[in-house]
């Protein structure tokens, strides 16, 4: 029985967390938002590091390094600008924040800053 419980616990830990909607994300306290974003960015850059360690490090630095005279990083500023734009569209009834995943917004701002090479 203990072995079964331990195996089940390992499976549950290994499963990826469900993506979170912007609506659910914005309902969380800022400390939980920050922790959620940090965990997602860590996972994303860990996955990227296998194929492109320089890009992974650049993304981490973009989100982590505070700029002089600013309260946050360039990456977090870009992310929150995008979230604010989506909030404004939602107020006008043009988007449904319960149907947009915050992870998708993170990926979008990363691709805007670090576009994939063209062939």
Long-range contacts of 63-72 (CB under 8 A, 24+ apart): 63/37
Provide the residue count of the chain. Answer: 119
Could you give the CA distance from residue 97 to residue 68 in angstroms, rounded to a whole number?
33
Percent of the chain with pLDDT over 90: 76
> Is the pLDDT assigned to residue 16 strictly greater than 50?
no
pLDDT digits (tens, 9 = 90+) for 66-94: 988 888 999 999 999 999 999 999 999 99
Structure confidence at residue 117 (pLDDT): 82
Structure confidence at residue 116 (pLDDT): 87
Alpha-carbon distance values, 47 to 3, 16, 34, 43 (Å): 30, 13, 20, 6
Mean pLDDT in residue range 16-31: 89
Alpha-carbon distance values, 25 to 36, 82, 93, 96 (Å): 9, 14, 19, 13
């Amino acid at each position: 029985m203990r072995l079964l419980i331990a195996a089940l616990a390992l499976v549950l830990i290994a499963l990826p967390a469900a993506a979170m909607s912007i609506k659910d994300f914005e309902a969380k306290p800022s400390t939980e938002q920050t922790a959620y974003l940090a965990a997602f960015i860590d996972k994303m850059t860990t996955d990227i590091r296998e194929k492109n360690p320089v890009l992974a490090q650049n993304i981490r630095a973009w989100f982590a390094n505070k700029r002089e005279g600013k309260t946050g990083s360039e990456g977090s500023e870009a992310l929150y600008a995008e979230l604010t734009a989506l909030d404004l569209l939602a107020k006008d009834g043009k988007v449904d924040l319960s149907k947009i995943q915050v992870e998708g917004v993170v990926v979008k701002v990363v691709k805007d800053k670090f576009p994939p090479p063209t062939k």
